[in-house]
Amino acid sequence: MSGFPEFDPQLIVMVMITYIIAITIHEFMHAWTALQLGDDTAYHLGRVSLNPVVHFDPLGFFMFLLIAVTGFGFAWGRPVPVNTYRLRPLGRFGKHGSMAVVALAGPASNVVLAIAGALSLRFGGAAVQETPLAQGLQTFVALNVALAAFNMIPVPPLDGSRLLAALVPDFWRPALANLERFSFGILLLLIFLAPTVITAMVMPVYNLIFRMLTAI
């Protein structure tokens, strides 16, 4: 027995549609927020756009397809380049604070999308509840919440690491910068060798967002 969930073409289509919308908005918000804070690097690369093609990462897309089929893994869009030195300082947090705002704009956009999906389920009536659209919206909400929660893990290159860098004392920042060189490998090791650690970091945020959604 493979242990894989039952193959469901409709669910896979729903997951892929969610991926395209969620990743596009997520990366767009990184680029747009950076532009508002003074860095036009992503703007000149055409990343301040809602065109999914400019945010497409082939390996990240394949990994999301793997999630759709197996229910396991993690995925991403094409990273948005941000020049920290061009960002306007944010109060006492300086440019690290501005970078944190840019980073948090991505997960925040996924929370907003999840709220929109939850509102559609709540107020859509029979036109939604009695159609396959209900399952699609449930998938949309769950995956957007999962993306937001996962990206808030304070491990480079995830968005939560930028918030951590803004909050820690100055003498910790060089160590975090050095750690970032090995960040993708460390993240892979955590996901595949210590999934319980990842779960322990993701679930509190995931549950918090869901409690917020059920209160709407």
| Catalytic site includes residue 6 | no
Count of alpha carbons within 13 angstroms of residue 142, beta-carbon side: 11
CA 213 to CA 216: how far, in whole Å? 5
Say which of 6, 27, 130, 180 is annotated catalytic. 27
Is residue 78 within 8 A of residue 70, CB to CB? The reply is no
Distances 194 to 133, 186, 187, 189, 190 between C-alpha atoms, Å: 35, 11, 10, 7, 5
**Tokens 């999308």 belong to residue:** 113
Distances 31 to 13, 24, 38, 155 between C-alpha atoms, Å: 27, 11, 11, 21
- Residues annotated catalytic, as ranges: 27
